[in-house]
Amino acid sequence: MNFAHVKWFIEQSRVGSYDELNFAEIAFVVAGVAAALAIIIFISNHKLYKSLDKRLSKILRKWAKWAPFIVRIVLGLTLVLNAWHEFLWAPDVAIDTTVQQYVSWLSAGLGILLIFGSFVRQSAILLSVLFIGSLFLIRPISVFEHLEYLGLGGYLALAGGGPLTLKFAASYDFHQLDKYRRHALKILRVAIGLSFIVLAFSEKLLGMDLAHEFLMHHDWNLLSFLGLGDRVFIIFAGISELAIGFSLIFNFAAKLISFGVLALFSLTAAILGPTEVAGHLFGVALVAAIWLNYPKEKVSLKKTK
């Protein structure tokens, strides 16, 4: 359940009430996140991790230019699948107005342009504007839970479309954005990290009723063998998402974190099916951008003297 969007698989109208976190539980969450981050930072600074990271970077360097290509293909496919299944940005946001339908169709059109490598930067910028504009069309929390769209759009706006873009559109590219390319990966990491933090609160720590309803239909309490109940598992799930979110934002062991995210996305997708696959395709883009390190950025935390 750590990375499954519980709202995608429950009827929210049937969700009952569930006690909110008490003071002791809040203190446990703070301590848990601090402990998790301490471990991740230790790993990030360990010479073995740094050595492996450096070696991987050398091996993958020749493939670095393909990162934007993978990102735009993933984003384009996601947008087309969203429109095909008639939801806006996510499975729990069903299209129920004409304006939302137009936005879905337009985003699908932008997705097709991204797939074919045509007007990539323009499409990415327009997509970002559409996404922000959705604040006036759907519940704001549904926008903040899916900031990966803003991260992917911002990444492509600065990094460009990579190889196999259509040449006739190249002359219309916003080449003046090239000087900001080095910030592309940071935008992607921060946006996806923030979405994890929002989800940790909205669907777990402050949305225990949603998570509890999910667990009533899916026996995913991995801590039950220790005799721990659903409430404790939900809290641990929230802690893990917060730790991952902060790690992505501050670039702690980013390769390890992104790989772990994709691995768990793949596991939940295998169990929950096509809806989970379509909603979490961005995990592939995250791994591609971070592992290929394009545009290049420093990937490990420096020790302070």
Question: What is residue 125's predicted lDDT score, i.e. its pLDDT?
Answer: 97
Question: What is residue 303's predicted lDDT score, i.e. its pLDDT?
Answer: 46
Question: What is residue 304's predicted lDDT score, i.e. its pLDDT?
Answer: 41
Question: What is residue 266's predicted lDDT score, i.e. its pLDDT?
Answer: 86
- Of 110, 189, 184, which is closest to residue 154 (Cα–Cα)? 184
Is the pLDDT higher at 1 or at 79?
A: 79
Buried b (16+ CB within 10 A) or exposed e, 99-133: ebeebbeebbebbebbbbbbbbbbbbbbbbebbee
pLDDT at 298 over 70: no
Q: Report how far residue 257's alpha carbon sits from residue 240's, in angstroms, rounded to the nearest whole number.
A: 11
Q: Report how far residue 1's alpha carbon sits from residue 234's, in angstroms, rounded to the nearest whole number.
A: 8
pLDDT at 101 over 80: yes
Q: Report how far residue 118's alpha carbon sits from residue 71's, in angstroms, rounded to the nearest whole number.
A: 14
Give the percent of the chain with pLDDT over 70. Answer: 89
108-131: average pLDDT: 96
Q: Report how far residue 228's alpha carbon sits from residue 281's, in angstroms, rounded to the nearest whole number.
A: 32
Q: Residue 210 to residues 38, 215, 265: CA-CA distances in angstroms?
A: 29, 9, 19
pTM confidence score: 0.89
218-230: average pLDDT: 79
The string of DSSP codes covering 20-45 is: PP-HHHHHHHHHHHHHHHHHHHHHHH
Q: Dump pLDDT digits (tens) for 225-280.
A: 877 888 999 999 999 999 999 999 999 999 999 999 999 888 877 777 776 677 78
- Return the domain boundaries, the chain: 19-292
118-127: average pLDDT: 96
Question: What is residue 302's predicted lDDT score, i.e. its pLDDT?
Answer: 47
Q: Dump pLDDT digits (tens) for 52-86.
A: 999 999 999 999 999 999 999 999 999 999 999 89
Question: What is residue 184's predicted lDDT score, i.e. its pLDDT?
Answer: 96
Question: What is residue 296's predicted lDDT score, i.e. its pLDDT?
Answer: 77
pLDDT at 143 over 80: yes
Longest CA–CA span in the chain (Å) reads: 63
Question: What is residue 301's predicted lDDT score, i.e. its pLDDT?
Answer: 44
Question: What is residue 11's predicted lDDT score, i.e. its pLDDT?
Answer: 54
Range ranked top by mean pLDDT from 42-56, 81-95, 278-292: 42-56
The three-point CA angle 253-256-260 to 5° equals 135
Q: Which residue is it, tokens 């109208």?
A: 13
